[in-house]
């Protein structure tokens, strides 16, 4: 899924259920997500922070905020991209994530890049 909102930053998301690390009998469902952030604009930008809202199938919401992504603050020149993988634990086999990245361009202007909701789903839970 590629997402491009009113900015020059494109987001591509790939999710995967991690069966071997999950424990359904203990309501522990682990998902990985790989995100590629691409600068399609004419000026460079640095990712400063992230915000996630993670919602389980039971409606339970968890909010996560932090500095950078995976301990990094990627700097993206025009047409450059950065890919990283992280994980989320849910207590249900289906859930979703949404959020935003806060970035700053070379002029010092801060802007948010929205990440619309995407689904986390264990196999055979959605039709």
The string of pLDDT tens digits covering residues 68-115 is 999 999 999 999 999 999 999 999 999 999 999 999 999 999 999 999
3-state secondary structure of 27: coil
Whether 5 shows a pLDDT value over 80: the answer reads no
Q: 4: pLDDT confidence band, cut at 50, 70 and 90?
A: very low
Fold of 2-121: Immunoglobulin-like (2.60.40)
pTM (2 decimals)?
A: 0.88
What's the average model confidence in pLDDT over 59-63? 94
Domain boundaries, the chain: 2-121
């Amino acid at each position: 899924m590629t997402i491009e909102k009113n900015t020059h930053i494109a987001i591509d998301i790939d999710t995967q259920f991690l069966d071997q690390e999950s424990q359904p009998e203990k309501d522990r469902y682990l998902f990985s997500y790989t995100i590629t952030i691409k600068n399609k604009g004419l000026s460079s930008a640095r990712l400063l922070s992230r915000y996630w809202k993670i919602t389980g199938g039971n409606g339970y919401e968890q909010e996560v905020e932090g500095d950078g992504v995976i301990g990094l603050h990627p700097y993206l020149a025009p047409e450059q991209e950065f890919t990283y993988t992280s994980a989320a634990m849910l207590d249900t086999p289906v859930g979703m994530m949404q959020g935003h990245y806060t970035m700053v361009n070379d002029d010092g202007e801060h802007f948010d890049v929205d990440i619309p909701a995407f689904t986390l789903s264990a196999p055979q839970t959605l039709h």
